[in-house]
Amino acid sequence: MSEKNVKNQELTEETVVAKVAELMETLDHVKEYNTLAGAFKRFALIVLSSIAVFLAVGASLGFLNLVATLDKPQLFLAALLLLLVPISGIATGVLFIRRRINAIKTGEWKEELSHGFPSALKILLEMDWDGTFDEISSGRVGYALYGLLKTAAYWIITVFTVGLLGNLAAFLVLGKAGFLGLPIWGLLSLLIVYLILRKDLSRRYNEIRALDKLLWELRWFSLELRRAEFQT
């Protein structure tokens, strides 16, 4: 074999190793999505509980007529404090998810792959493709649900924040509160949340599309790899 061919062969081997490294790095990222999907129930429980507590306390204040015992500044302060419950619920949920994601072990394949082409071959041949596809699928669904729940939680908080600020402004300007109903605050809040999270939602959508693309790409690859027989 000429020196040029040897050089080309080495380059091809390096390319295979680099491609497998790229694949493994991508699968490390998939682990993050999958962890998020696994922790989603706990996240949903934290966020929904905080919203339930917020609504229950708010409703109790109304039903027990405790509102009547408070003057307007006190009422405003109480409502503001009450809003801290769902806000801290979301913050706790997100922190919980981040901790779970940070605990993921990644890059364990690096040592193995440092042995060059044979190790790259081993990784490819021993890969649990079906397990990987399940991970991508569940990660994709979990990520979408996570985004939706977080947006919904932001919306609920915004409804009450906007309502509170709107009522305060109405009280200060017009001398009376509650001149607009919950549906109006709801729609206005939806618009505000959409405007604030528009870029974030679009990025999340692109991430889900990317996971989808990865799933198809790897399905094709594993099928080709399994179908092809290397002739010795």
Partner 1 sequence: MNFGEQSSKPDLYVIARIIKALKEKNRMNKTALATSTGLAYDKLVKYLSWMQERKFVEIDENGFVVLTKTGAEAYDDLVQWIMKYVGQLKFPRLRLRT
**Minimum CB–partner distance for residue 28 and partner 1 (Å):** 9
The size of the interface with partner 1 (CB under 8 A), counted in residues, is 47
- Alpha-carbon distance 124 to 108, whole Å? 15
Mapped onto helix, strand or coil, the DSSP state of residue 232 is: coil
CB count, 10 Å around CB of 89? 23
Q: Is residue 94 within 8 Å of residue 146, measured between CB atoms? A: no
Q: Which of residues 115-134 bind partner 1 (CB under 8 A)?
A: 116-122, 124-126
3-state helix/strand/coil string of 77-119: HHHHHHHHHHHHHHHHHHHHHHHHHHCCCCCCCHHHHCCCHHH
- 12 is a site residue for partner 1 (CB under 8 A): yes
- 42 is a site residue for partner 1 (CB under 8 A): no
**Minimum CB–partner distance for residue 129 and partner 1 (Å):** 13
Helix 3-63 with 182-227: angle, nearest 10 deg: 150
- 1 is a site residue for partner 1 (CB under 8 A): yes
Q: Which of residues 79-118 bind partner 1 (CB under 8 A)?
A: 94, 97-98, 101, 116-118
Using CB under 8 A, list all residues that contact partner 1.
1, 9, 12-13, 15-16, 19-20, 22-23, 26, 29-30, 32-33, 36, 94, 97-98, 101, 116-122, 124-126, 143, 200, 203-204, 207, 210-211, 213-214, 217-218, 221, 224-225, 228, 230, 232
